[in-house]
Structure 1
Amino acid sequence: MQFETVFRQVSIIDGTGADAYRADVAIQNGRIVQIGDLAGCAAHQVIDGRHQVLAPGFIDVHTHDDTHVIRFPECLPKISQGVTTVIVGNCGISASPAVLAADPPDPMNLLGKREDFRYPAFADYAEAVRQAQPAVNVAALVGHTTLRNQVMDDLCRAATPQEIVAMKALLKQAMQQGALGLSSGLAYASAKQAPAEEVMALAEALAAFNGIYTTHMRTEFEQILDAMDEAFQTGKHARVPVVISHLKCAGAGNWGRTVEVLDRMESAAQCQDVACDCYPYSASSSTLDLNQVTEDINIFITWSEAFPELAGKMLKEIAAEMDLPLMDAARALQPAGAVYHCMDEADVERVLKYRLTMVGSDGLPNDPHPHPRLWGAFPRVLGYYTRERKLFSLEQAVHKMTGMSARRFGLKDRGIIAEGAFADLVLFDPATIEDAASFEHPITAAKGIALVMVNGRISYQQGSVSPERHGRFLARHQ
């Protein structure tokens, strides 16, 4: 038999958490069709995989690539680090269903300008992705803040019963059209006034579609346990799985509390379906939030509409230049973006190692000076945390970035290397893979990635994206 592609003598880490093994892998019509000793089989393309690992393509469960996959479909920050599928619509903000009459509110402005929100129905967004045919697969959540922005005249209040009905109808339609579920961003001013009952009412629409609820919780600071309980209660009420986004203990006064935070996660997991994701860095990134402005940590300004020339400096440095108190300087820069060096490394490692934790980059592709996680999150897990820190085995690390993620979000036949699965694959050198992106030079491709295949076609090799892109829009449970 002649196959389209055969990987010869690769060390296979299949995404399930099982031990690595050596074999050949044959690809035909976008799927893995045979695994074993294929020495006697012919192929149009043979790839020598000796001394390298073949793993499922990484699934970035927490992205803000909603509009970026359409405007810049090469998706170089993601495919260059082995990512073959991105999940968009996190933290309560999504590109659809949305048509804006004014500039997007914070934090929807992280996704683009007013003209980037032109998808009145979820199906319109899905079709736009299909037309753009990005280099990676795309699956999407619907954002609570986006729904609020479509039906409410003031985001700094609770929704009325009539507005909740309207939002619920939009969410139900999106689920019918293939959305994965609902996300919330309750820490942001645009959703902070939404009571738990508002979110619970919307989440009721998910169960009939086997949807999922993900949340950037109301706080990651002192009251984090209360915020977790609210998230779990929402899942119980709606009878749906819950994923806590980028789980962390933020703020110097909160360092070390991941012990009790993970205890609370584990307790909840005994009676309901819960999980979390995290990124492998001790600094966060978002819009410049005045509630997070403090002298206790370093805050790096990534962009400012009021003073664009001051981007690329620490807030303390900017305040000194302006001869203003720190908070006044932060107000003067608004709207703006920031990187917050707000976490303890031991907390990051504890969460990353936790059995229910998936990996997500939470990268901001529209940021002119992005957090290095945009380009380096997945190789950092494999290089720094696996090879150097020995936090877990290579098999466990890959599982957190592939099989666990695919199963959690219902991405059928993805995230594993098995006969019949889609051929989303990454070939890498376990001895050299590492993140090259830094806070000083964040737009830098990772090292050690030899090849990335999406739906059976080579999409990235030798540092270049293929001119032909092979990503697909992935509807729920497709």
Structure 2
Amino acid sequence: MVDILILNGHIIDGTGNPWFAADVAIRDGHICGIGKLSKLSAKETIDANGKVVCPGFIDIHSHPDIALLARPRHEPKIMQGVTTEVFSNCGIGFAPATPESMKILRDAYAPLFGDDTGVAWDWTSVADYLSRFEKGIAPNIVYLIGHAPVRIMVMGMAERPATKDELNAMQELVRQGMEEGAFGISTGFWYVPICYADIEESIALCQVVAEYGGLYTVHMRNYRETIDESINEVLTIAEATGVPVQISHLAAINENKGRSTDYLRIIDEARARGIDIMCDSYPYLAGSTILQAMLPQWAGSGGPEAILSRLKDKQTRAKIIDELSSSQVDWTKAYICSVKTEGNKIYEGHNFADIAIERCVTVAELICDLLVEEDLEVCFLVHTGHEPDVQTIMSHPAQMIGSDGLHLSGKMHPRLYGAFARYLGRYARELNVLTLENIIRKMTSLPAQRLGLQDRGILKVGMAADVVIFDPNTVRDLATYDEPRQYPEGIPYVIVNGQIVTCDNEHTGTLAGQVLKKR
């Protein structure tokens, strides 16, 4: 007797090999058979005739740090077939922490993480934080130590390089986090206070991660005019430490249209000389983050109180407006996703240029006004990408798939609800950019290999039973920029650790996810 028997499926096993016809049997949370198994007895039988059966998807770049604690059913990702979330990316996370550093982290980054109803916010260590998820979650989780919580715990929001003693203290925090199960460290050089870290700081932290065979994921300093220098900074860190490095959400944006081949050539050349560098990307032309990240670096320093004080000071505000006015952002393509106050919610989904005209101010003035009115809690998205570059990057063998989805209130980026289904429907079936087998490899075995998850990412006897069943003829994303909270269609079954979490396109309420820890 097996727990689940999946009959008549087209098996895409995650390796990139061509599909084959077979049945799949699951017992005690693991795959126990693949082949002609119709004579087996089973507690649950699923007829997958005409459907693909593949490993559960692994989102190598996600941000459910708080949302998953507040809403453990995790429908936006589970309904897409994501069975493992890799999070605390871009250097932004919430463990380790002290009560003092936690306040700074919450004040600085809370807009990125949405409703936190029911979340205690009282953990201190990585182990303590991860234990909160053991109460029950739908997907598995993989934790990366954020650079921000480590730096803030040691240095607060200091606008300078770390001293030797501070480096030692940060190294010890990273070492403790790795001992407690983290898979590596993430950084986000675009965000305060990580932007003040010099390369020696990054090397010091990555030396510890490398000792444990962990991964280093990087939101680079710049994806526009100095992207080449930013990539070279990442390569220098990787070469100095031997740590495997992952460039987060690689894209050719704005004036870099057509340059994706240049970036990929740099990656290929680095790999040829022995640097273990790869990247991830998502299948959209827009990006999304907190509005305060658009402030000049000096204006975004010191924490929320200091930022608001500058924005309210007449002379300092004028200087900020002057610098914002020289921004190359096309504000007709930048839209407000979420705000805090009811009075400004009318602007969610509207572009900055139109709102500025309505309020009879410049866009630079509007940005300052909104940040003050909303206590900095404004998120936005901006269309900067180019479709040929998106396709070029996703086609590279060292690329894997990460949604970068933010769990915002308001009109968030549709990638949270749609990224994985979009790859399967738009880019495999409709545009034939990649085969289903190759795209599924980028969602399953490739990220599993990158993380060192030895029991996931491939459909094989003995592996953990994270399984997705989808219809290759109908699967597609439905989430749009206007209506982002729409589940995809064509993914009727999702199984996590041998338990059915979605059945006939409905969430069962089962919380079968596990806290995965680095071995």
After TM superposition, the score normalised by the length of structure 2 is: 0.88
1:75 and 2:74 correspond? yes
Give the Cα–Cα distance (whole angstroms) in 1 for the partners of residues 92 and 344 of structure 2.
Answer: 24
1:332 and 2:369 correspond? yes
8 Å CA contact 1:143–1:182 kept in 2: the answer is yes
1:276 and 2:279 correspond? yes
1:295 and 2:330 correspond? yes
Which amino acid in structure 1 is aligned with residue 504 of structure 2? Q
Give the Cα–Cα distance (whole angstroms) in 1 for the partners of residues 114 and 160 of structure 2.
Answer: 24
Give the Cα–Cα distance (whole angstroms) in 2 for the partners of residues 244 and 153 of structure 1.
Answer: 26
Which of the pair is proportionally richer in helix?
2
Instruction: Give CA deviations for 1:241-283 in whole Å, capped at 9, x if unaligned.
Output: 0000000122x21211111111111111112111100011010
Which amino acid in structure 2 is aligned with residue 153 of structure 1? G
1:125 and 2:167 correspond? no
Secondary structure at the aligned position of 2:285 is classed as coil
8 Å CA contact 1:63–1:363 kept in 2: the answer is yes
Secondary structure at the aligned position of 2:403 is classed as coil
Which amino acid in structure 1 is aligned with residue 336 of structure 2? I
Segments of 5+ residues of structure 1 without an aligned counterpart are none
Q: Displacement, 1:109?
A: 4.3
Q: Displacement, 1:467?
A: 2.3
Q: Displacement, 1:94?
A: 1.1
Provide the alpha-carbon RMSD of the alignment. 1.7
Percent identity over the alignment is 36
Matches within 5 A, 1:304-453: 304-305=339-340, 308-309=344-345, 310-334=347-371, 335=376, 336-453=378-495
Give the Cα–Cα distance (whole angstroms) in 2 for the partners of residues 150 and 63 of structure 1.
Answer: 23
8 Å CA contact 1:108–1:146 kept in 2: the answer is no
Q: Quick one: which of 145, 153, 156 aligns to 2:156?
A: 153
Paired residue for 1:266?
268
Q: Displacement, 1:405?
A: 0.7
Give the Cα–Cα distance (whole angstroms) in 1 for the partners of residues 90 and 428 of structure 2.
Answer: 28
Secondary structure at the aligned position of 2:34 is classed as strand
1:111 and 2:146 correspond? no
Give the Cα–Cα distance (whole angstroms) in 2 for the partners of residues 414 and 350 of structure 1.
Answer: 27
Give the Cα–Cα distance (whole angstroms) in 1 for the partners of residues 52 and 271 of structure 2.
Answer: 33
Give the Cα–Cα distance (whole angstroms) in 2 for the partners of residues 294 and 451 of structure 1.
Answer: 42
Paired residue for 1:55?
54
Give the Cα–Cα distance (whole angstroms) in 2 for the partners of residues 248 and 457 of structure 1.
Answer: 36
Q: Displacement, 1:116?
A: 5.8
Which amino acid in structure 2 is aligned with residue 476 of structure 1? K
Give the Cα–Cα distance (whole angstroms) in 2 for the partners of residues 410 and 241 of structure 1.
Answer: 11
Give the Cα–Cα distance (whole angstroms) in 2 for the partners of residues 155 and 341 of structure 1.
Answer: 32
Instruction: Give CA deviations for 1:136-178 in whole Å, capped at 9, x if unaligned.
Output: 0011000101111111132432222222211111110000010
Deviates most, 212-221 or 298-307? 298-307
Instruction: Give CA deviations for 1:280-309 in whole Å, capped at 9, x if unaligned.
Output: 101001111326662365100112347633
Give the Cα–Cα distance (whole angstroms) in 2 for the partners of residues 154 and 47 of structure 1.
Answer: 54
Which amino acid in structure 2 is aligned with residue 294 of structure 1? V
8 Å CA contact 1:52–1:429 kept in 2: the answer is yes
8 Å CA contact 2:246–2:278 kept in 1: the answer is yes
Paired residue for 2:501?
459
Deviates most, 291-300 or 464-473? 291-300
8 Å CA contact 2:338–2:408 kept in 1: the answer is no
8 Å CA contact 1:220–1:249 kept in 2: the answer is yes
Paired residue for 1:196?
199
Instruction: Give CA deviations for 1:36-70 in whole Å, capped at 9, x if unaligned.
Output: 11122211211111100001010011011011111
Secondary structure at the aligned position of 1:11 is classed as strand
1:64 and 2:99 correspond? no
Give the Cα–Cα distance (whole angstroms) in 2 for the partners of residues 81 and 154 of structure 1.
Answer: 38
Which amino acid in structure 2 is aligned with residue 421 of structure 1? M
Segments of 5+ residues of structure 2 without an aligned counterpart are 296-326
Give the Cα–Cα distance (whole angstroms) in 2 for the partners of residues 234 and 193 of structure 1.
Answer: 16
Paired residue for 2:10?
11
After TM superposition, the score normalised by the length of structure 1 is: 0.96
8 Å CA contact 1:99–1:117 kept in 2: the answer is no
8 Å CA contact 1:5–1:44 kept in 2: the answer is yes
Give the Cα–Cα distance (whole angstroms) in 2 for the partners of residues 106 and 218 of structure 1.
Answer: 18
Secondary structure at the aligned position of 2:193 is classed as helix
Instruction: Give CA deviations for 1:199-219 in whole Å, capped at 9, x if unaligned.
Output: 111111112211111100111
Q: Displacement, 1:188?
A: 1.5
Q: Displacement, 1:225?
A: 1.2
Q: Displacement, 1:112?
A: 5.7
Which amino acid in structure 2 is aligned with residue 290 of structure 1? M
Distance 1:241 1:116, change over 3 A: farther
Paired residue for 1:254?
256
8 Å CA contact 2:332–2:354 kept in 1: the answer is no
Matched residue count: 474
